[in-house]
Amino acid sequence: MRKPRSKTLAAVVAGGLMLTGCAGTTSSGSDDAAGERDSSAPLHIGAVLPLSGDGAYFGVAGRKGIELAVEQANAAGGVNGKDIRVTFSDSVCEPSGAKQAAEKVISDGVNAIIGDECSSATLGLMPVLEQEGVATITPGSSALAITDPGNDWTFRIMPNEVMQGADLAEKAADELGAKTAVILHENTDAGIGNAEVFQTFFEESGGEVLDVIGFDREVQDFTSVATRVAALGDVDVIPTYTLEGQGVNITNALAQANVTKGGGGEAIQLGTIWLPLGFEDKVAENAAEGYVRIVQFDPNDPNDAATSFLADFQQKYDEIPNHISAHAFDAANVWIEAAEKADSTDPTALRDALLEIEGFTGVTGTVTFEENDVETCSCPNERQNIELDTIHYIETQPGGDLNSLAW
């Protein structure tokens, strides 16, 4: 991928709170808050995921990836000869739910956490991690503030909103020739942050943002939004940041208003890593035609890690995995790698071992946690995976088939 332009990227990072909303966390988490735990105990992962509510598809898919990784590791002897345990807890994709779920798994004695998928939920559980001294790897939260300097117990393996948004905006301009855009986003940390990042980089590429439309998660009827977009005239791309349920309704409404290709219009919807494969099957016939979005796992990827994961997942679940399962699978395996490096399951030792992860080969790409120049990847904190070497764009074809784009 082409790296984001450094001047704009540095400016975006400097204004990170504006992009992601207020995310006050302290940097005074106690290194020995969990120190009384047995450092030779089995690796016990707490998975804080949305298992119910609007974001449940994240949790259901993520759980499958985690369970597969742990099953494979235990079949190979576990960590230090001991089976790995996993405790799942439902965050409902909300800050308060995530806080309670984190408190629950920590009280159950976990020494590592995977979660959350939703950015607002991850921001909600982070103060608990600081207080209790247990680290998390988020497999799916993009809000920039999550890995701000000082957030010592939160790691992220997926690209943050700047890494995603900069690339998406540049691809819209360079590959699709887009000159105009309308941005649709849910009013959450991730929704607002992703929208503002796309606008920043699209305008730097010479594009014009005609409108930015935000909405709460309770909204389900998008007829008026589609009518508003249609009234703007020629719109080339419509980046959309929302969960699957609202995403289905938005795609249908835009097609019905003859705005997008799926409804006979010219506009192309754009999306990031929020939507699962199979989204296309839930919209009205052909409504998603032309939809272009980022994924970090493509079932057609020929690399060894991806093909192995695809075969193993299909054997266990009799279905094709999506990138959500793949990210969760990678997060579990990174924790396993950290436990082996640390030769300990003490939470602080596990946290510190993550900082030594470099060049780990995952299904969704390479994972490296290290300090990095903010101008190259928006990673001022070494708790953000700095790599973005495996990124795919897929386009929905008539009938719902997916086409991998060679971008």
Angle made by CA atoms 272, 159, 163, in degrees to the nearest 5 = 80
User: 223-242 in b/e burial notation, b at 16+ Cβ within 10 A?
Assistant: eebbeebbeeeebbbbbbbb
Task: Let me know whether 286 and 360 are in one domain.
Answer: no
Domain presence at residue 1: no
Task: Let me know whether 167 and 91 are in one domain.
Answer: no
Which pairing describes strands 292-295 and 112-115: parallel, antiparallel, or unpaired? unpaired
Domain presence at residue 4: no
Task: Let me know whether 382 and 363 are in one domain.
Answer: yes
Rounded to 5, what percent of the chain is helix, strand, coil? Answer: 40, 20, 40
Domain presence at residue 17: no
> How high is the pLDDT of residue 20?
27
β-sheet bridge partners, residue 48: 89, 115
Task: Let me know whether 119 and 225 are in one domain.
Answer: no
Q: How many residues does the chain have?
A: 407
β-sheet bridge partners, residue 366: 361
Nearest one of 1, 66, 47, 50 to 363, comparing CA atoms: 66
Domain presence at residue 3: no
Q: How many domains, the chain?
A: 2
CATH code for position 56: 3.40.50.2300
Task: Let me know whether 222 and 240 are in one domain.
Answer: yes
Task: Let me know whether 52 and 180 are in one domain.
Answer: no
Domain presence at residue 55: yes
Distance CA 331, CA 156 (A): 9
> How high is the pLDDT of residue 317?
98
Domain presence at residue 167: yes
Task: Let me know whether 94 and 145 are in one domain.
Answer: yes
Distance CA 337, CA 347 (A): 14
Asked if residues 175 and 407 have their Cβ atoms less than 8 Å apart, the reply is yes
Q: Which two tokens stand for residue 380?
A: 């001022």
Q: Where in the sequence is the domain holding 317, given as residue range(s)?
A: 25-161+304-391
Nearest one of 323, 254, 311, 321 to 286, comparing CA atoms: 254
Task: Let me know whether 150 and 178 are in one domain.
Answer: no
Angle made by CA atoms 248, 250, 230, in degrees to the nearest 5 = 150
> How high is the pLDDT of residue 387?
64
Asked if residues 175 and 207 have their Cβ atoms less than 8 Å apart, the reply is no
Task: Let me know whether 316 and 291 are in one domain.
Answer: no
* The one-letter amino acid at 5: R
Task: Let me know whether 283 and 343 are in one domain.
Answer: no
Residue by residue, pLDDT tens for the chain (407 residues) are: 333 343 444 444 444 423 222 222 222 233 344 445 667 889 999 999 999 998 898 999 999 999 999 999 999 999 989 999 999 999 999 999 999 999 999 999 999 999 999 999 999 999 999 999 999 999 988 888 888 877 889 999 888 888 888 889 999 999 999 999 999 999 998 899 889 999 999 999 999 999 999 999 999 999 999 999 999 999 999 999 998 889 999 999 999 999 999 999 999 999 877 777 777 788 988 999 999 998 878 888 888 999 999 999 999 999 999 989 999 999 999 999 999 999 999 999 999 999 999 899 999 888 988 654 455 455 555 577 766 566 788 899 988 888 889 88
Domain presence at residue 6: no
Distance CA 144, CA 212 (A): 20
Domain presence at residue 18: no
Task: Let me know whether 180 and 120 are in one domain.
Answer: no
Residue 294, helix vs strand vs coil: strand
Task: Let me know whether 151 and 31 are in one domain.
Answer: yes
